[in-house]
Amino acid sequence: MSMERSEIAFEINGATVSVSVPPVRRLSQVLRDELRLTGTKVGCDAGDCGACTVLVDGNPVCACLVPAASVTGASVTTVEGLGNGRLSALQASFLEHGAAQCGICTPGLLVAATALLERNPTPSETETQDALGGVLCRCTGYRKIVDAVMQASRHMNGVDLRLPQVGRAVGASPIRLDGVPKVTGGEKFGGDSFPADALSVLVVRSPHYHAGFSLGDLEAWTEAHPGIAGVFTAADIPGKNCFGVIGPFADQPALAEGFVRLRGEAVALVAGEREAILDLDLTDFPITWTELPHVLQPREAKAEGAALIHSHRPANLLTSGYVERGDPEGALAGAAVTASGSIETSFVEHAYIEPEAGYAYMDGDTLVVVACTQAPYMDRDDTAKVLGLSVDKVRIVPTATGGGFGSKLDVSLQPLIGLVAMKTGRPAALAYTRNESMMSTTKRHPAEMKATIGTDAEGRVSGMIFEGDFNTGAYASWGPTVANRVPVHASGPYATPNYRATGYAIHTNGPIAGAFRGFGVPQATIMQETLYDELAGKLGIDRLDFRLKNCLRDGCETVTGQRLESGVGIGECLEQLQPHWARALAEAAAFNAIHGASKRGVGVASCWYGCGNTSLPNPSTIKVGISASGEVILHQGAVDIGQGSNTVISQICADALGLPLDKFRLKSADTAITPDAGKTSASRQTFVTGKAAEKAGRALREKVLRFANVSGEAMIALEGSSLSIREGDAARRIDLSELKADADGLVFVAEETYDPPTLPLDAKGQGKPYAVYGYGAQIAELEVDLKLGTVKLLKIIAAHDVGKAINPVLVEGQIEGGIAQGIGMALMEEYIPGRTENLHDYLIPTIGDVPPVEHILVEVPDPEGPFGAKGLGEHVLIPTAPAILNAIRHATGVLVTKVPATPSRILAAIREKEARR
């Protein structure tokens, strides 16, 4: 039952084209599917994200909302048309400012900004924000985008790649090595390279939180729908229909078997020709649902007699984590001052602008899955398990990944498209809609926490007790990691001699809560840091001084009894903030002296975060070689989801090897060609894979030097296909093309593995969970409208100890992006299943919601990290929300105990305080 096609002729990037499509087909689909111009991205299909922004006759529009018929005779410009054979000034400016991270929103931003710059080459900050307010970015925090647009007119002469000299890569800020395709539209994300003959796949999902279901006559239904190649259900799964990121806790079916535990759970796959699937109405799909009672709140789920979501998990407790040190009750009983409180947080959606997408095909007897991901080897193992294949018969080819933030660690569509490819022998492609991405993939755990902290009369923290319930949803995912990480980190980076912290991961029929930038630590830090403000108030000590008095220093022991010999940078972070703190407090006081209807506040909070897995093996392997043609071939397996590992790992390797960055060619994290560098999570890539890259670079250098029979002092250089080696006055030249190359074309090759030295935690959580920690502290300055409860952020000052900033511009990008997510968590983000499953009801910060960010890079070298570097990807988000809540309390006198602190909640808290007077 389709609509007839029409010939629609228009101009695209200066060329005349004609397509034959139904006249109401979305322009975004026409561009991507008919013209294969995949630079125009689809993030929501509803005008909520702006990723598909194109110009129609010079005006920016969302291509997802424009019927093909409307561009008849019009001139359409996409990102591919901005460059005119070379990068436009704006594209060059984006690269030089580091304004593109993952790159998925970049085309929309570039197109929208191009329209602005056409009429206003030197826009103000407000003009820039007004023009770009309709494009969401989840990685950058927008500040570098604003700068890049405002200063575009200065970048008329192409791009300066800022390639460092040999031996100077670490600490330099070359533009991202994978940057150019991100600004030209050439980058291929999960949905950008579907084979033309691929079957399209639709997933039938549960509309209920908890329900039984029975399937009707699938064969008859398939027969009745031409173009449908097949329907696949749990009965078709050849392997073990049970996956999960942590083996012992694996509990999730790829396709549900008879009943579902959450809304959005997959129950069947429909595969068919693309046009048939586009025209398929699933309302007559033969399935009968029987709704069952469900629980969405942990307090209901753990109540006595509550139905078990997994029969083998009593009280719906997935697992718990525990750390105990000293005598916490005794310490609190003897404390001069104590503060107690409780905090509640909400589900937070990752909201990467790229919904999950990929395709699968059979290459002989090997299943190949080409998709966006954060963890190719884990995808391989889980896909193989579900599909009954040996792991060497599954190949994962990661595409560029348009943001992940933790959710793309879990498999999503991989086993689904793999099943279709296996069963049909045809390539199978699937791009999740925004709605199904939000319904079916993981979230940040909502937490219900309570804690008490006590100090002595001088203000030294003597004890803390923390307990938190974390709503882990219907399946395990990374719930155990959250339950374990929280007790280890809930003290914050402060010496806490007597301590008990317990974290419970509790099942509900809510969305699956998994990994999200910080694994529960951002939630726990809100609890601890808001109590620290209360303690400082009771003690009459300045809030920053109170933190300085208690922060961990070299030689301190953590709450797990780990002695930190060196590299503890939290003290320096807080000290660096002192002048800003004094300035901000003075400015707020001056403002408040003359304003009544709105009040300013200043807040501070810290973070610490262990890099890598908690007390578990966590190796990365890096392979690097020199080719016969004189290039350095780096098998860079640390998936770059926008954070910059392609660049950072190369910088580390370049300096370890002693060859310049411009000789590096990267091989992707394809599991068939590149060793496992582990998952992109836990702020581990710069540290763990970076260390492996350092070791591999040094090993390769050693091989070359040994071959040339020179000492470690020698300089090496690549000149064409020869390698020159100099030591003192002696020089020699090796013709690489004459050496025997291996199957990969490499004449020298090294492969090294690094696994961080950790020790298990005992029954009381004592041990050495991490080899490296990173630290940071942030100040939030803001203004609260006392009559509306709205918050206007004025500035964030962020001091982060990264050990060594391998690439300072990328570090700044991480800081600004983490802060933006922290702002969202603090002020607006609240995922409610069944209610906010789109990007207009679920709010993430726009370009107008992130204030100026001042970054202070603190470099206290870590003895273990490569060149002293520590991780930072998650650290940067952790202090933001508690700093904002503390600033709101400073401004208003009230602590909002449930985040997000929406205007409604802030005003309610203010009114409640007024009523108490």
Positions touching other proteins (CB under 8 A) are: 1-6, 22-24, 26, 45-48, 50, 53, 59-62, 64-67, 69-70, 112, 129-131, 133-136, 278-281, 433, 435, 785, 787-792, 827-828, 830, 832, 835-836, 840-841, 843, 845-849, 902-904, 907-908, 911
User: How many Å apart are CA 152 and CA 914, to the nearest integer?
Assistant: 50
Q: Residue 337 belongs to what H/E stretch?
A: strand 337-344
Residues 6+ apart with CB under 8 A from 537: 543
Pairing of strands 394-398, 366-371: parallel
Within 10 angstroms of residue 702's Cβ, the number of other Cβ atoms is: 13
Residues 6+ apart with CB under 8 A from 219: none
Burial class, 630, CB count within 10 angstroms (exposed 0-12 / middle 13-18 / buried 19+): middle
Task: Please give the Cα distance from 743 to 916 (Å, whole number).
Answer: 77
Please tell me what DSSP assigns to residue 277. H
AA identity, residue 564: L
Strand-pair category, 447-455 with 337-344: antiparallel
Q: Cβ closer to other proteins: 563 or 911?
A: 911
Give which of 564, 536, 535, 539 is closest to 552, Cα–Cα.
564
Given a contact cutoff of 8 angstroms between Cβ atoms, the answer to whether 369 and 356 are in contact is: no
b vs e for 890-899, b when ≥16 Cβ sit within 10 Å of the residue's Cβ?
bbbebbbbbb
DSSP string, 57-95: TTEEEEGGGSBGGGGTT-EEE-GGGSSTTS--HHHHHHH
Question: Least separation, in Å, of the C-beta of 52 and other proteins?
Answer: 9
Residue closer to other proteins by CB (options 7, 554) is 7
Q: Cα-flanking dihedrals φ and ψ of residue 803, to 5°?
A: 75, -70
What's the rounded Cα separation, in Å, for the pair 568 and 366? 48
CB of 837 to other proteins, least distance (A): 11
- Between CA 465 and CA 453 the distance in angstroms is 7
- The strands making up 6-12's β-sheet, listed across from edge to edge, are 15-21, 6-12, 75-77, 53-56, 59-62
Q: What is the dihedral of CA 809, 812, 813, 818, to 10 degrees?
A: 160
How many angstroms separate the CA atoms of 94 and 182, rounded?
10
- What residues form DSSP beta bridges with 557? 563
Q: How far is the CB of 846 from other proteins (least distance, A)?
A: 4
Residues 169 and 648: their CA atoms lie apart, in Å, by: 9
Give the list of residues 6+ apart from residue 247 with CB closer than 8 angstroms, or none.
none
**Helix, strand, coil tally for the chain in percent (to 5):** 30, 25, 45
Residues whose CB falls within 8 Å of the CB of residue 736, separated by 6 or more in sequence, listed in order: 626, 627, 628, 629, 630, 721, 722, 723, 747
In this structure, the strands spanning 447-455 and 461-473 are: antiparallel
Q: How, if at all, do strands 199-205 and 228-233 pair? A: unpaired
Q: How far apart are CA 428 and CA 387, in angstroms?
A: 15
What are the φ/ψ torsions at residue 609 (nearest 5 degrees)?
A: -160, 125
Residue 100 is classified by DSSP as -
Task: Using alpha carbons, list the distances in angstroms from residue 577 to 69, 184, 402, 543.
Answer: 57, 39, 33, 12
Tell the smallest beta-carbon distance from residue 283 to other proteins (Å). 8
Strand segments (E) across 351-446: 357-363, 366-371, 394-398, 428-431, 443-444
* Whether 739 contacts 847, CB under 8 Å: no
